[in-house]
């Protein structure tokens, strides 16, 4: 089978690497891909947010039998619906189901209606009313722009002055564009025992009937060590998560995952694809911080390397509604991913810096994110550039292995966190 993957990042490189192992795959295309993906796939230079252009390309390439849509924005824009309408097979939720990520107001209302544990909240489309509400409330308070905002539409406000400024930024100045037409004002959740926060990402395969969680992982969203600096797309991940054991997994299956599948069906938008549960362990039990309608980035980079089962077979089973028939197996042990970013990320950074990757120890693997090849030279082409990963018996083993190899990778301005994987280790 020939397969098209939509996306450009480290997540898509990890998906391509997993798909390439499938005995049923002949050729992989990636739209648009990057320099690392280009080693596994033929990269296609079409803007994947141009839905008609993507569908026209797939129409014209009769050899492509299956399209995997990985990023949130084409899912929210209805790429899967459009491909299916033209008679093509595609992996990912349709537009109505993708609202679980593309509208925080939709997701919160769903959780409220179906009793799924999450932070208490109110939704406003009127600035004055939102302002009056935060003036009468507790602090910290969390403000969230309703729509997609590249992971930047969440503001944690310590004081009333911060909240006033935040509401102005989202609702009046439209810092996140239309995503800020509505705002969710949310209770600030705190962790149970560890600091700072106790968040875990659990991705799950679902065909709308059966839901099968993947192994849990932890992301590091802030730019700098010790969870300092601005929020980013994610600076590193590790699996397994030390506070997510069988008891938590059972609680989450019963109170969160199954009710979410039931709720989406009851709302007339069954979810087929990968559902991402961003969870926080609170004194009141596990709660949903956010849903995503797709694989996480960089969670995928530590989760998929541990998958023993054929990923394409799982995807096909989801598309055909027979996920219950597939046995999904995982390797024992740990995996760590450290993101190497351009200097200045997540704010201003330069592109086009030559990258040198020297000899790396066996078992260390690199997924590319923002990279391109120009006249044969590998160069930076984005904020997050490379994802350096390794497996180990424990998170400690894996992280040591990653870090001791970083001295063999260079580009001007390269920045990374030194503390990936030690977040929840109590000293």
Give the footprint of ligand GLY on this chain (CB under 6 A): 151, 219, 234, 292, 296-297, 299
Question: Rounded to 5 degrees, what are φ and ψ at 337?
Answer: -130, 125
Whichever of 207 and 299 has its CB closer to ligand GLY, that residue is: 299
Binding partner at 292 among ligand GLY, ligand AMP, none, C-beta below 5 to 8 Å by kind = ligand GLY
Q: How far apart are CA 196 and CA 395, in angstroms?
A: 19
Contacts of 77 (CB under 8 A, 6+ apart): 49, 51, 95
Strands 64-69 and 2-7: parallel
CA–CA distances in Å: residue 198 to residues 159, 423, 427: 22, 9, 16
Binding partner at 310 among ligand GLY, ligand AMP, none, C-beta below 5 to 8 Å by kind = none
Binding partner at 197 among ligand AMP, ligand GLY, none, C-beta below 5 to 8 Å by kind = ligand AMP
Whichever of 17 and 70 has its CB closer to ligand GLY, that residue is: 70
CB of 368 to ligand AMP, least distance (A): 24
CB of 226 to ligand GLY, least distance (A): 19
Whichever of 184 and 314 has its CB closer to ligand AMP, that residue is: 184
**Coil, strand or helix at 260:** helix
Binding partner at 119 among ligand GLY, ligand AMP, none, C-beta below 5 to 8 Å by kind = ligand AMP
Binding partner at 142 among ligand GLY, ligand AMP, none, C-beta below 5 to 8 Å by kind = ligand AMP
The enclosing H or E element of 112 equals helix 104-113
**103 in Cβ contact with 180 (< 8 Å):** no
Whichever of 292 and 387 has its CB closer to ligand GLY, that residue is: 292
Q: How far apart are CA 290 and CA 101, in angstroms?
A: 8
Whichever of 66 and 291 has its CB closer to ligand GLY, that residue is: 291
Binding partner at 139 among ligand AMP, ligand GLY, none, C-beta below 5 to 8 Å by kind = none
Whichever of 199 and 207 has its CB closer to ligand AMP, that residue is: 199
Residues in contact with ligand AMP by CB under 6 A are: 119, 142, 151, 154, 156, 186-189, 197, 199, 221, 278, 289-290
User: Residue 133 class from Cβ within 10 Å (0-12 exposed, 13-18 middle, 19+ buried)?
Assistant: middle
Q: Which residues, in sequence order, are bridge partners of residue 223?
A: none
Whichever of 153 and 296 has its CB closer to ligand GLY, that residue is: 296
Q: b/e for 106-122, b at 16 or more Cβ within 10 A?
A: bbbebbeeeebbbbebe
CB of 29 to ligand GLY, least distance (A): 23
Q: How far apart are CA 318 and CA 314, in angstroms?
A: 6
CB of 288 to ligand AMP, least distance (A): 9
């Amino acid at each position: 089978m020939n397969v098209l993957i939509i996306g450009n990042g480290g997540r898509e490189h990890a998906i391509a690497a997993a798909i390439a192992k499938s005995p049923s795959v002949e050729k992989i295309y990636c739209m648009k891909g990057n320099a690392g993906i280009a080693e596994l796939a033929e990269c296609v230079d079409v803007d994947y947010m141009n839905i008609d252009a993507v569908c026209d390309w797939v129409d014209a390439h009769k050899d492509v039998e299956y399209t995997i849509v990985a990023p949130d924005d084409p899912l929210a824009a209805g790429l899967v619906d459009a491909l299916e309408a033209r008679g093509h097979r595609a992996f990912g939720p349709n537009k109505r189901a993708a609202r679980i990520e593309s509208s925080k107001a939709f997701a919160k209302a769903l959780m409220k209606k179906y009793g799924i544990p999450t932070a208490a909240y109110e939704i406003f489309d009127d600035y004055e009313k939102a302002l009056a509400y935060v003036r009468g409330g507790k602090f910290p308070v969390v403000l969230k722009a309703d729509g997609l905002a590249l992971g930047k539409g969440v503001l944690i406000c310590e004081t009333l002055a911060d909240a006033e400024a935040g509401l102005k930024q989202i609702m009046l100045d439209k810092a996140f564009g239309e995503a800020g037409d509505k705002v969710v004002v949310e209770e600030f959740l705190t962790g149970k025992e560890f600091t700072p926060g106790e968040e875990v990402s659990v991705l799950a395969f679902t065909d709308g009937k059966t839901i099968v969680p993947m192994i849990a992982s932890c992301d590091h969203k802030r730019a700098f060590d010790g969870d300092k600096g601005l929020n980013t797309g994610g600076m590193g991940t590790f699996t397994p998560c030390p506070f997510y054991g069988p008891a938590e997994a059972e609680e989450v299956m019963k109170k969160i995952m199954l009710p979410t599948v039931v709720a989406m069906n009851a709302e007339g938008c069954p979810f087929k694809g990968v559902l991402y549960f961003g969870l926080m362990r609170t004194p009141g039990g596990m709660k949903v911080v956010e849903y995503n309608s797709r694989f996480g980035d960089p969670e995928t980079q530590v989760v998929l390397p541990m998958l023993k089962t054929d990923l394409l077979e799982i995807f096909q089973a989801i598309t055909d509604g027979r996920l219950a028939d597939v046995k999904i197996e995982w390797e024992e042990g740990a995996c760590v991913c450290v993101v190497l970013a351009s200097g200045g990320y997540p704010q201003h950074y330069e592109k086009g810096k030559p990258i040198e990757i020297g000899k790396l120890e066996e078992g260390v693997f690199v997924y590319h994110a923002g990279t391109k090849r120009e006249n044969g030279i590998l160069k930076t082409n984005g904020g997050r550039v490379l994802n350096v990963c390794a497996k180990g018996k424990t998170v400690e083993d894996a992280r040591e292995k990653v870090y001791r190899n970083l001295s063999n990778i260079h580009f001007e301005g390269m920045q990374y966190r030194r503390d990936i994987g030690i977040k929840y280790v109590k000293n």
